[in-house]
Structure 1
Amino acid sequence: MRPFSMLGDGILADDSLGHTEAFSAFRRSAAELLEGRYKPGSLGLDPIAYRAAAMAALASPNDITNADATAFFRTHFTVLNLRPESESPRKRGFVTGYYEPEVEAAAAPTNEYRTPLYRKPADLVKVDSVNRPPGMDESFRFARRLPSGLLEEYADRPAIERGALRGHGLEIAWLKSPVDAFFIHVQGSARLRMTDGTVKRVGYAAKTGHPFTAIGKVLVDSGELSLAEADMAGIRGWLERHPDRLRWLFDHNRSFIFFAEHSLIDERLGPVGAAKVPLTPLASIAVDRERATYGVPYLIDAPDLAIDGTPYRRIAVAQDTGSAIIGNARADIFLGSGDAAGDIAGRVRHAADFAVLVPRSLAAKLIQ
């Protein structure tokens, strides 16, 4: 069964959908769409079909009115309902939230700052169906290149955090808390407030390739927390109560993230996402890269998710991805930077209805 059905563009007339923020987010992806840098996923949302809208967005000022932004989306798109895949146990879509942490950091280790964030090692390389060695799990996208040229699995989190990369000069910065470092790995980016007063931004560069394991699920499955308690605040609280079991818990997630430094040009915007553009709070989402297409606007309606007292019903643009984001109607909403955004992000686990904004010519093909 095709996952799409027609909703029409009338729904876009609702002026409470965050049109202006969504337009700015879409406009940031417009040049990438025009240059053909985004590849289509299995849903068939062909980026070529979005080029006319991208050209119109670039020809418009970024600070247009809400009325003009509404007119832009109604002019260039119709709306298709997007259902979860037929084998999904969920009848509706599902959203979570993520953010950019802000933490104190030092350029060199001290007795106080002892936990490093690492940059990508030179011997970590991408693998695919062409160069993946026999026996390596197909889910691995990275591997270690040996001096001989052969490939093998890279060291995992337990090995790295016990010193596998020590002495290689890969440390970008040092943090006070291994808990903060772990959650930066989960979020994929951070603003580091350095001890010399400067601010450094780091973002995802690569990973070891090992599968991601949600430590909240580990705590639920082992009876340590209930499902309702296993949000970010609940996990942090458990770690504060059980510091002696930190290593046991973190070792369950073998995936380890490497970072790159990025310029902090506009403090209002988030880090650069996988779509190679800065993320816009509430108007950028992470999607399943195998199914979705970067630069495509979605309409997400999560009536039980209230942010600043308002149910989340907005247009948001696919501009990032994540290991845990799997499915047609699945998204991680970027909520901003800092502790306030983190407090919200940690509580977002809500059912939602998904739709995609599609040029009319493409819509006709998708619902045939």
Structure 2
Amino acid sequence: MRHVRWAAAIFALGATMTLNSADAAPTYEILKFEDLDGWEDDDHSAALAVFQETCADIKDAEWATLCALATSQPSARTFFELFFRPVLINGEDQALFTGYFEPELRGSRRRGGPYQYPLHSKPPEVQNGSTWFSRREIEEQNLLDGRGLELVWIDDPVEKFFLQVQGSGRVKLAEGGAMRVGYGGKNGHEYRSIGQELIRRGTYEPHQVSAQVIRRWVQRNPIEGAELLRHNPSYVFFREVSEVPADKGPLGAMNRSITPMRSIAVDPKFNTLGGPVWIEKGGAKPLHRLMIAQDTGSAIKGAQRADIYYGTGDQAGRAAGRIRDRGRLVALMPIQTAYTLAPGG
């Protein structure tokens, strides 16, 4: 979706995780299912249904076999226990969980009145994997103006920024109806946390930072707020998404709708997109649940890092914005893959 596709989501606005082993070879430890806290109490059928939505898109023969078998198992829990092994990757690192959601914004297909902040489609000269101009350069030099790249005009620059962090959202149109927008590319610059910048400046303590706090600060300080937003050089482009029904979630990195509280964004260098991942999130509202890795995010780096998709709208946004918790992630891998990576397991 990003952002969501990249996410998207990626709502690590207040903190990012330092992984001491980020550049080292990953470590793998095979666990038992009884080592997973709360495993027996989860709704494995709900997880299996989400797994089946994207497992056919995993380009691997072993996964393809498991995907075919998933439709014929009488018990979802038995399916996972029979054909997978829990693998703890980089177990010396403590996990960091954040949350993301699909925002709902107000906008218009035509510029006018409060609708002054455009969402742009990707310029044709921007190539995937290449670096284009930074957010500051794009805005200060008006590099996108007058090119017919505007998809829709939004009434709030902060909401536009957060939509770029999320990567996907719905826009309620002044003309009536709504449109859904999804990730359409980016300028190639790495995401930089504005929450971390406010902490660095001493404006807030780490425990005080949330999406709502950042939003209010920028709105109270419009000039300094615009400068703060430019601290993040990453700039996300959008496309109109018309193929997703209104009752389905936004598209994730696998180009399939994601599911609230069952889909997570992960670092695909460590976790297979489409694969099941057991999470044990601490914090004020602990969450121990089998999730499916169906999304990615530019701020989601490392084996023990995940963004939990909370759903659409303000309530989901408030819940997602409060999440910055520790714990651990355990990937469920096909048996052969697991023992290849951890032969002594």
TM-score, scaled relative to structure 1:
0.81
Alignment of 1:20-99 (within 5 A): 20-33=45-58, 36=59, 47-57=60-70, 59=71, 68-84=75-91, 91-99=93-101
Q: CA deviation at 1:267?
A: 3.8
Q: Gaps (5+ residues) in structure 2?
A: 1-24
Please say if residues 305 and 312 of structure 1, whose CA atoms lie closer than 8 Å, have aligned partners that are also in contact.
no
Q: CA deviation at 1:229?
A: 1.4
Please say if residues 26 and 89 of structure 2, whose CA atoms lie closer than 8 Å, have aligned partners that are also in contact.
no
Separation in structure 1 between the aligned mates of residue 90 and residue 271 of structure 2, nearest angstrom: 13
Alignment of 1:134-173 (within 5 A): 141-143=129-131, 154-162=132-140, 163-173=142-152
Q: Gaps (5+ residues) in structure 1?
A: 37-46, 127-140, 144-153
Q: CA deviation at 1:344?
A: 0.9
User: Does 2:311 correspond to 1:287?
Assistant: no
Q: CA deviation at 1:209?
A: 0.7
Q: CA deviation at 1:81?
A: 2.2
Alignment of 1:329-348 (within 5 A): 329-348=304-323
Please say if residues 219 and 225 of structure 2, whose CA atoms lie closer than 8 Å, have aligned partners that are also in contact.
no
Separation in structure 2 between the aligned mates of residue 247 and residue 48 of structure 1, nearest angstrom: 49
Please say if residues 192 and 200 of structure 1, whose CA atoms lie closer than 8 Å, have aligned partners that are also in contact.
yes
- Amino acid of the structure 2 residue aligned with 1:101: P
Please say if residues 2 and 367 of structure 1, whose CA atoms lie closer than 8 Å, have aligned partners that are also in contact.
no
Please say if residues 5 and 82 of structure 1, whose CA atoms lie closer than 8 Å, have aligned partners that are also in contact.
yes
Please say if residues 56 and 64 of structure 2, whose CA atoms lie closer than 8 Å, have aligned partners that are also in contact.
no
Q: CA deviation at 1:106?
A: 0.3
Separation in structure 1 between the aligned mates of residue 123 and residue 187 of structure 2, nearest angstrom: 10
Q: Secondary structure at the match of 1:110?
A: coil
Please say if residues 21 and 280 of structure 1, whose CA atoms lie closer than 8 Å, have aligned partners that are also in contact.
no
Q: Secondary structure at the match of 1:164?
A: coil
Identity of aligned residues (%): 34
Q: In structure 2, what is the equivalent of residue 146 of structure 1? A: none
- Amino acid of the structure 2 residue aligned with 1:355: V
Q: In structure 1, what is the equivalent of residue 182 of structure 2? A: 203
Q: In structure 2, what is the equivalent of residue 125 of structure 1? A: 127
Q: Secondary structure at the match of 1:325?
A: coil
Separation in structure 2 between the aligned mates of residue 16 and residue 234 of structure 1, nearest angstrom: 35
Q: 2:226 aligns with which of 214, 228, 247?
A: 247
Separation in structure 2 between the aligned mates of residue 169 and residue 351 of structure 1, nearest angstrom: 44
1:151-182 deviations in whole A, cap 9, x for unaligned? xxx22212222321100000110000000000
1:185-236 deviations in whole A, cap 9, x for unaligned? 0011011111222221111111001121110011110111111111111111
Higher relative contact order (CA 8 A, sep 6+): 2
Q: Secondary structure at the match of 1:327?
A: coil
TM-score, scaled relative to structure 2:
0.86
Q: CA deviation at 1:314?
A: 0.7
Q: In structure 2, what is the equivalent of residue 278 of structure 1? A: 257
Q: CA deviation at 1:268?
A: 4.4
- Amino acid of the structure 2 residue aligned with 1:14: W
Count of matched residue positions in the alignment of Structure 1 and Structure 2: 317
Separation in structure 1 between the aligned mates of residue 121 and residue 112 of structure 2, nearest angstrom: 19
1:112-148 deviations in whole A, cap 9, x for unaligned? 100000011111112xxxxxxxxxxxxxx224xxxxx
Q: Secondary structure at the match of 1:142?
A: coil
Q: Secondary structure at the match of 2:45?
A: helix
